[in-house]
Amino acid sequence: MDDNERSNGYSPLEAAIYGNSFRALHLSAQSTGFRTHGFRHRSLSHANDLRIAEDFLINTRYLRYDRETETSIQSYFMDPGVTILSNLGREEKAGIAEIRIPEGVRLRRELGDVLARRRSSRSYTGDPIDLKFLATIIRSAGAVTGYGNVDLMSGGQATIRFRSAPSGGGLYPIDIYVASLKINGLERGLYRYDPLDDTLLQAGDRHDVDRLVGAFAIPEEIVSLSRANAIFALVGHPWRSMRKYGNRGLRFLFMEAGAIAENIHLATGALGFGSVDCASVHEDEAHTAMHIDGLYQTLLHTVLLGYPG
Ligand SMILES: Cc1cc2nc3c(=O)[nH]c(=O)nc-3n(C[C@H](O)[C@H](O)[C@H](O)COP(=O)(O)O)c2cc1C
């Protein structure tokens, strides 16, 4: 029975009173305080919420005739842009403890075999792992593996370095951090890999590692973080890509984090260790632990590594 049928037989005043006091309850994301993501999805047709993720997808598409983006990209083929590329990763390191990492071990297992066996591994024995194995995994994630010389318009050449994981525009906007938990030869601490010098730079002490571990939201029965050997934390510099590609550049950071993470998994698997991606981390807490601001340097992803057990 609808409003009109109900009001039959009533005076206009009574009908108006009835009409004004009747209010259909439309269950929607707007009329509800606590909203699960599934509920938001079901009520999309009558919700008026901010749609940040979809706005991101729409506003980061590559459009034809976007002269601002085209010009920004072109500038990276001119001398100043090439110079930026050739200087990537160069930084002042005065006062930062620098740790040489040893030669690694060769990855001998056949790729097809590694791929076929790759599976997330969440249970670890807690036995320590030697630094030489971690060194191999770090280098697989992001070492400099090649060089290219580019002729400058003004004369001379600039050298550009390439790394083990691909990167949009060769901008390498992701830093690889490693928290050493149980690594023979590497004190418990937080380190940032420097691909140019192939060293680890001290980025935090054991207390920072405790804070980083505390930022994870995973029950021990699901992932035995307390017995993991290392945490890889991939930290992006969004503006390094966005300066060239605009907001679209942020897409590249997520893609590149995936490529680096997969390199970590494949190297880990080839060595017989276990690893798992872990998105269950409270980023704000991790940023505090890692002494980064969360915007100009922001945690993109983490991978845990351990002796499978
Ligand atoms: C982006 C991403 C985030 C993930 N986050 C978690 C996580 O927080 N906790 C977890 O136990 N597994 C996590 N995983 C692992 C997936 O659960 C796993 O890859 C999936 O179940 C498929 O299983 P497989 O990796 O063994 O093939 C994540 C995987 C990806 C790619």
Give the pLDDT of residue 24. Answer: 60
User: Mean per-residue pLDDT for 106-135?
Assistant: 97
Distance (angstroms) between ligand 1 centre and the Cα of 278 equals 7
Residues 34 and 133 placed together within one structural domain of the fold: no
Using CA positions, which residue lies closest to atom 30 of ligand 1?
Answer: 277
Q: Which residues contact 236 (CB under 8 A, 6 or more apart)?
A: 173, 174, 175, 253, 256, 257, 297, 298, 299, 300
For residue 196, pLDDT over 50 is answered with: yes
Count of domains in the chain? 2
Q: Which two tokens stand for residue 36?
A: 């699960």
Alpha-carbon distance 278 to 286, whole Å?
A: 13
Distance (angstroms) between ligand 1 centre and the Cα of 41 equals 23
Output the CA torsion 278→282→283→288 (10° steps): -120
Residues 216 and 152 placed together within one structural domain of the fold: yes
Overall residue count recorded for the chain in this entry: 309
Residues 65 and 147 placed together within one structural domain of the fold: yes
CATH number at residue 108: 3.40.109.10
Using CA positions, which residue lies closest to atom 21 of ligand 1?
Answer: 120
pTM of the model: 0.90
Note the pLDDT tens digit of each residue in 90-112. 988 989 999 999 999 999 999 99
Report the nearest atom of ligand 1 relative to the CA of 301: 1
Using CA positions, which residue lies closest to atom 27 of ligand 1?
Answer: 119
Q: Is residue 55 part of a domain?
A: no
Distance (angstroms) between ligand 1 centre and the Cα of 134 equals 21
Q: Is residue 246 part of a domain?
A: yes
pLDDT class for 9, splitting at 50, 70, 90?
confident
Q: Which residues contact 179 (CB under 8 A, 6 or more apart)?
A: 189, 190, 191, 204, 209, 212, 213, 230, 231, 233
Residues 132 and 31 placed together within one structural domain of the fold: no
Look up the domain containing 249 and give its range: 60-306
Report the nearest atom of ligand 1 relative to the CA of 121: 26
- Answer whether 122 contacts ligand 1 (Cβ < 6 A): yes
How distant is the alpha carbon of residue 214 from its chain centre? 18
- From residue 52, how far is each of 6, 49, 55, 187, 273 by CA, in Å? 42, 9, 5, 41, 38
Q: Which two tokens stand for residue 245?
A: 């590609």
Q: Which two tokens stand for residue 289?
A: 């632990």
Give the pLDDT of residue 48. Answer: 75
Note the pLDDT tens digit of each residue in 225-275. 999 999 999 999 999 999 999 999 999 999 999 999 999 999 999 999 999
Query: Which residue reads 């080839």 in tokens?
Result: 270
Residues 240 and 210 placed together within one structural domain of the fold: yes
- Answer whether 280 contacts ligand 1 (Cβ < 6 A): yes
User: Mean per-residue pLDDT for 54-67?
Assistant: 96
Residues 45 and 72 placed together within one structural domain of the fold: no
